[in-house]
Structures are given as C-alpha cells and as structure tokens.
Structure 1
Amino acid sequence: MSSALTGLFRHPIVQAPMAGGVSVPRLAAAVSEAGGLGFLAAGYKTADGLYQEIKQLRGLTGLPFGVNLFMPQPEYPGASTGSTGAAVAAPPSAAAVEVYAHQLAGEATWYETELGDPDSGRDDGYDAKLAVLLDNPVPAASFHFGIPSSETLESLRRAGTFTLVTATTPEEALAVQYAGADAVIAQGVEAGGHQGTHRDLPEQDGSGLGLLSLVAQIRETVTIPIVAAGGIMRGSQIAAVLAAGASAAQLGTAFLATHESGAHDVHKQALTNPLYVRTELTRAFSGRPARGLVNRFLREHGPYAPAAYPEVHHLTAPLRKAAAKAKDPQGMALWAGQGHRMARELPAGQLVEILAAELDAAMTALSGTGDPR
C-alpha cells in the first residue's frame, strides 16, 4: 500500500465526490475529522465556487481532503482514432438531442419551466478549476470521465497533490498508470451516479464489471494503489475489497443519507423507501450512463435518451431543479448505488466510526484470530 495514500487517512475510507450539491464542505470535513478522506466535487461548479468551497473546508478541518474534477468531453460521443491516425467520430448528436427535447416538452409543461440549452459548454470549466488546484494545492485530486495529461499530473505532483483517476476496466487502469497518476479508482458497475468510463460507447452500456472482479483484474494489471468504488455500504464489504487487492474503499451512497450531506431530503428518503426497489443505469438525465433509483422519468425517457453528454445534462437541468423544488421524486435524478437499501441516516463522522469498527471485526474474522460468527 502506498504510504502517500495511507498518509491521507486514518481509516481506508474515502467519501466519494458527488456532484450536484451533495459533497458539501461540511460533509467532507466531518469525514476527514473522523479519520476518512473527505472529498469536494467540482463538477457543475464555477472555478470561483470551487475556490470558495475549498476555503470553507479549510476553515472546518486541517486534515487532508480531496477535490474531484470532470474531464472535458470530446466533441462527439465515442470519438476515436482510426488505423490511419485520422480522427474517426461518431455521428453528430445534435439531431438526436433535438428529438429528445421534443419528447421532453411535456415534462417542461408539467413542471412549468423551460428546457435548458444543450449547448451550454462541454468542458465544465476544467482549465479554470485546474488552475485553482495548482494555485491553491490540495492534498488529493481525482478525475472522472477520462485521464488528465501526464504534464498535468506531474504539475499536481510537484505541488504536493496526490492524484487519482477513475477506471472501469483493466485497460483503462493501465492507461491511468501509464499517464502517471498516483492511484486508480476502480469503479464497479454497482456504483451510483455516473460511470467514469474514459470513452462513452453506447454499444457497451450495461457491460461493466462487478467491483470484486474488477479490483482483482486491475490488481494483476497495475502496480499503483487501487481505491475500490461501487455499492459498498458496510465495513465487511470494505474488508472484501481490501482482500481483493484494494488499498482503500470509496463510498458514495453510504454518505448520501448522512446528516451533513447536501442531498435533497426527498433524495435521502427515497434511498430506503420501499417504493424504489431497484436501480438502473440510464442516460435519461445526462446522456451518459449513470445509476439511479428507477422512477417515472427514468422509465419513460431512459429508453430514448441519446448518448450525448453533457448536452442532455444541460437540457434536463431545469426539469430536475423544478422537480426538486416541487419535492417530486418521480422527476428527480435519484442517483444511488445497488446497496442503497442499506443506507443509514447518521452523522457522517459516526458513520465513519461504525464502518471502521465493522472493518476491524471483518478483518479479525478473516485472519482467523476471532469468532467468525
């Protein structure tokens, strides 16, 4: 296990960065203060908004924390390079987005709002946010939807920042190591929210690997530390991924229901509401595969949503905001991992302590030094 990684926490528990207002400074601070590694989510924020959250978090804790950035998206989904070296792009998504907008017209009428502008930007202010992290170095930075350049990773390393990049396959993990990242986040298909695939290929929808299999395969592929993510809700599951070769576990849905989480109360309540019996990967809300609780919006629009991120995200943003304002869970993006029914409504610090105790008990049982019951 990397000493640089273990120096960031007392317990191998990482709070996943959940964009959209969930991973607020008070949540990250509570996790870090309890011995885990708290994270801020820069996604969908302005660079100044990120700077202010970092400043606020530093006022709450002097312990290590991390910041997550979304990588800029290629012009077309699935863009790649052909055998001749020439760029080969998927068909433009503008027409498909326009068709989807017509389908959502009824939703806009129902929620008395306008659809968003799908052409509101593709890079999420990446360069400006990266500049914030280089000018005001943070202990850890992670990246989703792709890999930063080797130069960027080296610049962050020189600034004293530990870098992590999400991967959903062994091949992506190898590319992460080759680029020079300090660690890889192995995201299993069980994970809630957006899958961090490096290329959005519709033909691969739903084909992701389960977490334990993914961690084991990545462990045989790379030498850098692995942080396992996907459906983890209990300390015994953390012990399982550690046994499979991970150095730490990243939990998102488990912290979604905590007191400090910035998630809407309706979202928190839905996690354990028997009305929502399962989750599903969908493009309905953002145009990229993301796992959420199956509600009316997902059922009605998921089958028709195009592979167009972030265009669909921008398009549906006012709908999701209006649904949340109306406290209507049937129109909200209720991101959740497969273990959502195991969510516990606790203070985040207390959850870290309970997870750590469960982990210790499971590790003792695995070692054969205690009662396995």
Structure 2
Amino acid sequence: MTLLERLKMQWPIIQAPMAGVTTPEMVIASANAGILGSIGAGYLNADVTKAFIQAVKKETTKPFAVNLFVPNVINATRQELEEAYNVLKPYREKLMIADEGALLSTTDFNTQVDVVIEEDVKVCSFTFGLPSEDVIKKLRDHDIFTIGTATTIEEAILVQEHGLDAVVLQGEEAGGHRGSFIEPFQLVPLQELLLQAQGKITIPIIAAGGIATKEQLQHAIEAGAEAVQIGTAFVVSEESGAPNVHKQQILLADEDVTALSNVFSGKLARGIENDFMIFMEGNKIAPYPYQNDLTKSIRARAQELGYYSLMSMWAGTSLHLVEKGTVQEIVDQLTK
C-alpha cells in the first residue's frame, strides 16, 4: 500500500504542522482539498490539543495528523536564564512591557500522546527527536501511522531503525524550526538528502524544504519522495493563523530574504531576516524552549503593533514563489 493510499490522500502533499500558525480551518481545508492536514500541537497543552482535534473532527471525517515536539533534556542554570532575560530588556522597554519575568514552559507530551489515541487520530508526527519505544508501541497498537523528522541521513536512519512508519527529510531550505536531534547539527540541502537516502531508507520519504511550486514538487517525487511537506505556501493562505504583516512580508519578497537564527526560541529556525535576528546575534541565548518563553511577550506585542522587525516570521527559501489564496486554490496551483 502506498503512502497516499494509507493516508487516503488525493495529492502527495502534507500541510506542514506549523505550531502557532495552523488553525482548525487550515487543517479542515487541507483535508477537503485532498491533502493531509496537520495540527501543529507542539506549543499546546493536552486540553487545547484535544479541543483543536475535536474542532477538526466536527467538520471532516478525513485523516489528519497531529505533530508533537519530543521533549529534550535541558541544562540551564538560573543565572544563565537571568542573563538571557536581561539581554532582552531594551526590547521590553521599547515595547513598554513590564519587567515581571517570564513564565517558563513545561511539557504535556505524554498526555498529548494519550489524547491522540483517545481521539482516534490517524497520523502522529514528531519533531526534535525520537519518541520512546513505549510511545511508538502505544500508537502502533491503536493503528496510528507515525512519522519522524530528520535533517541528516544519520537521523533518517535512526527514525527508520526506531520503527516509525515514515520520515520527513527536512532540507536546509525549510522555513521554521530545524528538526535536528543529532549534534553537531548540519545543514544539508533537500536534493542531497534525497540522494543520500537512496538504498538506505526503505520507509516512505516525505520531502520538505523550499517546495513552493508544482515543478519543485515533481522534482522531489522524481528524486524518491512519496510526498512533500509544504509550509510557507500555506502560511499565506486565507485559513492561516499567521499575522497579516507576516503574510505580507512573504508576499512582498521578490527573492530569498531568509536567514537561520536561534535568537527567538533557542533552536535554529529559518525566517525572514529582521533587526531582532541581526542585533541579538552573539548575545546570551537561553536553550530551547526557555528562549522561546523569554521572547514570547516581545513577539506578541510586536505583532499587536505591526513591528515586523521584532517578530519571528518563519519562511523557507522559496518564499518569493508563493501566491496568496485559499488552501484549495494553493493546492490547485501545486497540482493542476
């Protein structure tokens, strides 16, 4: 059975699970357009994850995925966190944000896995690492299709050996966070990853990174992928939860204006280069997810005021090739 048959997809496209951008409307529209919609649940707690899933199930009976962030071991002292917090003081002052500290996040990962099972979600994908054997067994026992994320062939081999059903090969061109989990982290172009996978990866491959046109999609399929995962093209969709200023900065781009940076979240991510990325480089950065917690109020206030120079505007290298429209219209552009 092919990946498309297993996941009941008309087209070999997966809507990327973009945490903070994905809405129920986007996932529903993706399912109705014949592609696999994905809930980006990485920053959600179990209750919100459940409500999100139920909102989607209310409007479609088609399969969709839930993406979870695998918890990482974090080593950070109170002093390191205070240093990283104090570095951000000028930005809080500029945006008139009270100096009241930051609420540090905790993980609901295991409870989210239980929610995925309870709600009978058909697909569960993972980013930032490998779930435990117990988690994979629980999902397999409930006939849930599992997908891992890899940014190198070494990571892809581990995803395969760990028993997941498919792997997203994320090229360096991809927007948003890198799914890397083996150090030292490497930046490998998508086409090179697909070439390296030949003869080594036997589970279905999903190509991700810089895919925004029908031609790029076809090229990835011809190189061995059974499907592609697309994010930036759907960020600008009408159903997207991205701020309008984020969508406009993507649509106004006439070339690749992205850069990789860890200053917003503590993990390397690709987005439209702006002042915050430039001026914060070289300063004390807390490890993920704590840096994400420390910058959350800055990003939220900047969004309220339309200060895109201080926002995290994730986008891949092909941002200048995307066009606005509904999810259905964007899928039509990619397939017809």
Query: What band does the TM-score fall into relative to the shorter chain?
Result: over 0.9
Alignment equivalent of 1:108, drawn from 71, 92, 99? 92
Distance change (3 Å), C-alpha of 1:277 and 1:353: closer
> Residue 157 of structure 2 corresponds to which residue in structure 1?
174
- Are the structure 2 counterparts of residues 106 and 173 from structure 1 closer, same or farther at C-alpha, using a change threshold of 3 Å? same
How many Å separate the matches in 2 of 1:354 and 1:210?
24
Q: What is the alpha-carbon distance in structure 2 between the residues aligned to residue 51 and residue 333 of structure 1?
A: 26
How far apart are 1:185 and its partner, in Å? Answer: 0.5
Per the alignment, residue 27 of structure 1 pairs with 26
Say whether 1:157 aligns with 2:140.
Answer: yes
Which segments of 5 or more consecutive residues in structure 2 lack a partner in the other structure? none
> Quick one: distance in 1 between partners of 2:179 and 2:316?
14
2:323 matched residue in structure 1: 344
CA distance in structure 2 between the partners assigned to 1:283 and 1:250 by the alignment: 23
Partner of 1:367: none
| Residue 56 of structure 1: aligned partner | 55
Amino acid at match of 1:110: K
Give TM-score scaled by structure 2 length.
Answer: 0.95
Pairwise mapping of residues 200-219 of structure 1 onto structure 2 (< 5 A)?
A: 201=183, 204=185, 207-219=186-198
- Does the 8 Å CA contact 2:65/2:124 hold for their aligned counterparts? yes
* Deviation, structure 1 residue 11: 0.3
| Deviation (angstroms), 1:149 | 1.3
Identity %: 36
Instruction: Tell me the SS of whatever aligns to 1:165.
Output: strand
1:301-320 paired onto structure 2 within 5 Å: 301-306=280-285, 308-320=287-299
Contact 1:186 1:227 in 2 (8 A): yes
Please state whether the residue corresponding to 1:69 is helix, strand or coil: strand
Cα offsets for 1:60-118 (capped at 9, x unmatched):
21111111000111123xxxxxxxxxxxxxxx465443322222100011111146856
Displacement after TM superposition at 1:136 (Å): 1.5
Match of 1:136?
Answer: 119
Is the contact made by 1:185 and 1:227 (CA closer than 8 Å) also made in structure 2? yes
Local SS of the residue matching 2:207: strand
CA distance in 2, matches of 1:93, 1:216: 42
Task: Quote the residue 1:44 is aligned against.
Answer: 43
Distance 1:219 1:137, change over 3 A: farther
Residue 197 of structure 1 aligns with which residue? 180
Distance 1:289 1:95 in 2: 22
The residue type equivalent to 1:113 in the other structure is I
> Aligned pairs, how many?
335
In structure 2, the partner of 1:363 is none
CA distance in 2, matches of 1:314, 1:7: 38
TM-score, length basis structure 1: 0.86
Q: Which runs of 4+ in 1 moved over 6 A?
A: none
Is the contact between residue 147 and residue 168 of structure 2 (CA under 8 Å) also seen in structure 1?
A: yes
Structure 1 residue ranges without an equivalent (≥5): 77-91, 358-373
Q: Secondary structure at the match of 2:281?
A: helix
Q: CA RMSD in A?
A: 1.8
